[in-house]
Amino acid sequence: MPQPQPGAPQQPPQAVPAQTRGPEDGGAGANGGRALSNSKRAEQNRKAQRAFRERRDQHVKYLESRSQLLDAALQSADEANRRWEECRALVDQLRVENAALRAALSQATLITPGPPPAAPFEDQNKAAANAEAKTDGAPTLAEQKNE
C-alpha cells in the first residue's frame, strides 16, 4: 500500500474488486500505471509550486513598490508639516510684534494727541513740498537756467 504524502488529504480505501481496476487505478498494470500517475502528479506539483512562487514574487514586488510610494507620501507629508509649523511660528511671532506695535502706538497717541498719522506716501509728498518752500527765496538751478 502506498504511503500518503504529507499534507495530502487522506481518503479511506475504496472497496473495488481487483479485476475491475484499470492500470491508472492501480489494478493489473499497477507498477507501470502508478509510476505514470506519480510522475504526472509530480509534474503537476512542480507546476503548481512554480505558479505559487511566481504569484508570491509578484505580490512581494507589489508590496515593495507600495512601500516605496507610501514612504514618499510620508516624506512629503512630513515636509508639508514642517513648513506648516514654520509658518505657524512666524504668524505667532508677527502677532506678538503687532500687539507690541499697537501698544506703542497707543502710548504715543496718548502722549501727543494730534491729527491721525497720514499715509506714508502723503508724508513724502508733503515733505517734498515743504522742502521746495524752504529754499529761502533763492532761485533753484532750473530757475537760473530759464533766466
HEC profile for 42-56? HHHHHHHHHHHHHHH
- Number of domains observed in the structure of the chain: 1
E strand or H helix at 69: helix 30-111
Note down pLDDT in tens along the chain; length 147 residues.
Answer: 455 555 545 555 554 444 444 444 444 455 566 667 889 999 999 999 999 999 999 999 999 999 999 999 999 999 999 999 999 999 999 999 999 999 999 998 888 756 666 666 666 666 666 666 555 555 665 566 555
Q: What secondary structure letter does DSSP report for 113? A: -
* Residue 56 forms part of a structural domain: yes
Is-contact 26 34, C-beta < 8 A? yes
* Residue 26 forms part of a structural domain: yes
Alpha carbons 23 and 60: distance in angstroms, whole number: 43
* Residue 108 forms part of a structural domain: yes
* Residue 8 forms part of a structural domain: no
* Residue 141 forms part of a structural domain: no
* Residue 74 forms part of a structural domain: yes
Report residue 39 CA to chain centroid gap.
Answer: 51
* CA dist list (Å): 123 to 99, 127, 130, 131: 24, 6, 10, 12
Parent domain of 96: 20-113
* Residue 91 forms part of a structural domain: yes
* Residue 79 forms part of a structural domain: yes
Q: pTM above the 0.75 mark?
A: no
- Helix-, strand-, coil-residue percentages of the chain, each rounded to 5: 75, 0, 25
